[in-house]
Amino acid sequence: MAYKRHIDRLPIIPADAKVQNAVCHYCIVGCGYKAYTWPINRQGGTDPSQNVFGVDLSEQQPQDTEAWYAPSMYNIVKQDGRDVQLVIKPDVNCVVNSGLGSVRGARMAENHPSTVTGTQGHRLTDPLTWRYGSYQQTSWEDAFDLVARVTARVVMDGSEDDLIVSMFDHGGSGGGYENTWGTGKLYFESMKVKNVRIHNRPAYNSEVHATRDMGVGELNNAYEDAELTDTLVAWGCNPLECQTNYFLNHWVPNLQGMTSDKKAELLPDEPQEPAKIIFIDPRRNVSVNAAEQAAGPDNVLHLPINSGTDLALANAIFTHIVEQGWHDQDFIDAHTLREAAEHPAEFPAKGASDAYPGLLTSFEDAVEANRMSLEEAAEICGVPADDIRKAAEWMAEPKEGGARRRMMIGYEKGIIWGNDNYRTNGAIVNISLATRNIGQLGGGCVRMGGHQEGYFRPSEGHVGRPAAYVDQLIIDGKGGVHHIWACNHYRTTLNATEFKRIYNHRTNMVKEAMDSVAGQGRDALVDAIVGAIAEGGLFAVNVDIIQNEMGSQAHVVLPAAQQGEMNLTSMNGERRMRLAEKYMDPPGHAMPDCLIAAGIARHMERVLSETGNSDYAANFQGYDWKNEEDAFRDGYQSAHPDVTYERLRAMGTNGFQEPPQGLDGETIIGTDRLYKDGKFSTDDGLARFMAGPWRGLVTPGKQEESESYTFLINNGRSNLNWQNWFLDQENEFVTDRWPYPFIEMNPEDMAENSIEPGDLVEIFNGNGATQAIAYPTETATRGETFMLFGSPRGTQGNIVSKGVNELVIPVYKQTWADIRKIADVPEAARHISFKSKEFRF
């Protein structure tokens, strides 16, 4: 099926189209786009005066012309209640993407709801409540009233610990400074909710405690550093598919030698060559292939390590670098802690404590504790010692003439959701710190990132460290009310089989109680709900843009607006903050999340006052926001008064890099890189090294699991799919390519199990079962597979064990299971190509 083959022509954007700033809602990269809207009954013409590009469109345009757009970038949407034509196309003047789109971002327009073109018809338009045994539309007032009455009752009868919250903490799709403030103010200021989790992990914690504890914030460089560096390191990440335009617009040009002018200008005294690149990933992901194409295979080193052995590898590289004397002693002396930390008796076997599973200490201490030879690491990691040595050389061996090698490490979910997160993260930062690669041009030791960021909330200090393991609380029958914001644990949490089983049971108890008092009025309804909660039931409120599986178990469903349907600020992976403007109406009665939070707060105040709890009711004041800008002023802007919507709007898709440093006229001055002055984010400004030796697979149960099952079920993302497919599932382009999640398997493993390409297989272990279609992959290591996570038709999380590390970080990537064929290629997958995903050159 060819995508949109019915589209023959699209309207020309007229010269007077309204132009607004847009930022891609999807990944961390935050590519700049422009949104063009104009009335439904008009279009531009070919004459330069008639189109927004100002060019003669009757002539053939050059190959790299900007004067075009793809069908996926077009839609007909509502703006101020009227139908308008909408084009969202990449902005050539945005320094992030320089006009590049991606197979995700370039679908933003068609991924908005349209009653004219029929796209995204599943978007929620009205609040829903469980009524007459099914979901029925209701008013905001009615929905808020029920939420507030039940929540207030449960919290007053028990405590705030009986309210469990799952909420986004990011920017872009779900989140943003406005919305994290709205929800943060509600749960962390008006209340002190501590049984709270984030959308992607079962606790309210950091993904990267270690680097922060060491004084090195995880987004510390600028995208430009990837253009200036000598060596790029992709550690547990797949940048072509997951941080696409960061890779294509900033890494690839350096690999191709196309940034030599910039290097010569900014680093004139150093010999320059095109960058080399190292990938550390158990599988050969397609980024390796893309890098080989750009840099030539000799300049690409892939270390296909055993799953979960990154700590051994990092410690061996660190040891080798120090043994060779390639570290920077002057920098270490001046900018890092010089006295060894006090050693707890049990160190190094344990850490300082569960909250600090590695020791924050001096360079010498770390060298001593982490010492690991290349040969030992080779044995543990399953890669040749010579390749580890080569990696260390590429990372730190001085260049000709003795110039320091500039090296940038980008890491992401391969280590974050991997074995021994804390120590591994610390061990990687050790390498960058020792070689003075933080705060320097061409340096950085950074998260590649997931979503954009947009975190501005009151202190979460009351949550504690380690934070509560919220999924386990729910499974254990704790909590009475669950508020959910932009999450779908049914598709993306760990131990999902068990979680869903218990969640269905507990929420069904409340549904049955509600059904039993139909027609008896609000008081009877609230009493019935509270009665069911007392018996172990759970009352759920789901705030989302669609009716997802969590919503299908909830009792109240509240429709949110997404980016583009509201004004929203967030920052990208180099801390670049922009205002993505509202260019269309949200569907129906949907509202921005921050205003939904405000509505809940206002009704909490009313209900609490009515029930004689005026002291507590007073906590819920200060939510009289009329729009999202009011929430922004109340939150982010109160701390950074220079940062206003007006200034951000004027600064377009380039915005500024956080933190703001003041104003130059109306321009906000930003910060290109952190730690340029060598002052780190610790009380004394000195960075810490991490002493944390290798200690095997530490997550409870994982070692046994690896010994009990045949296949590693490595898992993660594909270029095409965004997250849990919440929009993709209604997008023909995506469902056509991936009607089911794929599982990449070695062809010999497939043959041994009588599995043909495209066959539906079941993947099962003691935690549960899931399914996928088999995708033969020559480069897959025998016994190792890679499954697309988060699909509606096969949740990888079903087979992930409940084991977490000391800081309650899930270990999705380390899963072992058996595989059996269920059925021949399903009809929906019959047309799929199973060619290699690699580009052959």
Residues of this chain that bind ligand SF4 (CB under 6 A)? 24, 26-27, 29-31, 97, 101-102, 104-105, 244-245
Q: Which residues contact 17 (CB under 8 A, 6 or more apart)?
A: 36, 37, 38, 44, 52, 87
- Residues contacting ligand MGD: total by CB under 6 A: 61
Q: How far is the CB of 26 from ligand SF4 (least distance, A)?
A: 4
Residue by residue, DSSP assigns 434-474 as HTT-SSSTT--EEE--SB-B----S--GGG-SSPP-HHHHH
Interface positions, 188-217, toward Mo ion (CB under 5 A): 200
* 8-16, 616-624, 682-690, 715-723 -> range binding ligand MGD (CB under 6 A): 715-723
What's the alpha-carbon Rg for the chain, to the nearest Å? 27
* 152-160, 394-402, 446-454, 660-668 -> range binding ligand MGD (CB under 6 A): 446-454
- Distance between CA atoms of residues 188 and 553, nearest Å: 26
Contact 559, 120 (CB under 8 A): no
Q: How far is the CB of 451 from Mo ion (least distance, A)?
A: 6
Comparing CB distances to ligand SF4, the nearer of 102 and 746 is: 102
Site string for Mo ion, 404-443 (x = CB under 5 A): ----------------------------------------
Contact 99, 92 (CB under 8 A): yes
DSSP state of 188: I
How many Å from the N-terminal Cα to the C-terminal Cα in the chain?
Answer: 27
- Distance between CA atoms of residues 41 and 35, nearest Å: 18
Question: Quick check: 543 binds ligand MGD (CB under 6 A)?
Answer: yes
Q: Strand, helix or coil at 146?
A: helix
Comparing CB distances to ligand MGD, the nearer of 89 and 104 is: 104
Q: What is the dihedral of CA 390, 392, 395, 397, to 10 degrees?
A: -90
Tell which one of 182, 450, 480, 573 touches Mo ion (CB under 5 A).
450
Comparing CB distances to Mo ion, the nearer of 448 and 526 is: 448
- Edge-to-edge strands, sheet with 74-79: 18-23, 32-39, 82-90, 74-79
Comparing CB distances to ligand SF4, the nearer of 94 and 288 is: 94
Q: Which residue, 624, 576, 630, is CA-closest to 601?
A: 624
Question: Quick check: 282 binds ligand MGD (CB under 6 A)?
Answer: yes
Residue 491: which of ligand MGD, ligand SF4, Mo ion, none does it interact with, CB under 5 to 8 A by kind? ligand MGD
Residue 567: which of Mo ion, ligand SF4, ligand MGD, none does it interact with, CB under 5 to 8 A by kind? none
Pairing of strands 128-131, 556-559: antiparallel
Tell which one of 184, 202, 215, 236 touches ligand MGD (CB under 6 A).
236
Question: Quick check: 721 binds ligand MGD (CB under 6 A)?
Answer: yes
Length of the chain: 841
Q: How far is the CB of 100 from ligand SF4 (least distance, A)?
A: 7
Q: Which residue, 713, 724, 832, 716, is CA-closest to 761?
A: 713
Q: How far is the CB of 632 from ligand SF4 (least distance, A)?
A: 21
Contact 358, 426 (CB under 8 A): yes
Q: How far is the CB of 89 from ligand SF4 (least distance, A)?
A: 11
Question: Quick check: 91 binds ligand MGD (CB under 6 A)?
Answer: no
Residue 101: which of Mo ion, ligand MGD, ligand SF4, none does it interact with, CB under 5 to 8 A by kind? ligand SF4
Question: Quick check: 31 binds ligand MGD (CB under 6 A)?
Answer: no
Comparing CB distances to ligand MGD, the nearer of 311 and 773 is: 311
- Edge-to-edge strands, sheet with 568-571: 568-571, 576-580, 656-657
Structure tokens at 386: 């010579």
Q: How far is the CB of 171 from ligand MGD (least distance, A)?
A: 10
Contact 781, 752 (CB under 8 A): no
- What sign does the CA torsion over 668, 673, 679, 681 have? positive
Q: Which residue, 317, 231, 369, is CA-closest to 693?
A: 369
Question: Quick check: 111 binds ligand MGD (CB under 6 A)?
Answer: no
Interface positions, 812-831, toward Mo ion (CB under 5 A): none
Using the CB atoms, write b or e for 203-215: b if 16+ within 10 Å: bbbbbbbbbbbbb
Alpha helices in 757-811 (DSSP H): none
Q: How far is the CB of 244 from ligand SF4 (least distance, A)?
A: 4
* 84-92, 143-151, 447-455, 528-536 -> range binding ligand MGD (CB under 6 A): 447-455
Q: Which residue, 372, 378, 241, is CA-closest to 306?
A: 378
Site string for ligand MGD, 289-328 (x = CB under 6 A): ------------------xx-x------------------
Token pair 């997250």: residue: 723
* 522-530, 532-540, 684-692, 717-725 -> range binding ligand MGD (CB under 6 A): 717-725
Nearest residue to ligand SF4 by CB is 105
Tell which one of 17, 657, 813, 816 touches ligand MGD (CB under 6 A).
813
Residue ranges that bind ligand MGD, judged by CB under 6 A: 27, 104, 173-174, 199-200, 235-238, 241-242, 280-283, 285, 307-308, 310, 412-415, 417-418, 448, 450-451, 485-488, 491-492, 543-546, 548, 560, 562, 593, 714-717, 719, 721-724, 726, 786, 789-790, 796-797, 800, 812-813
Q: Which residues bind Mo ion (CB under 5 A)?
A: 200, 450
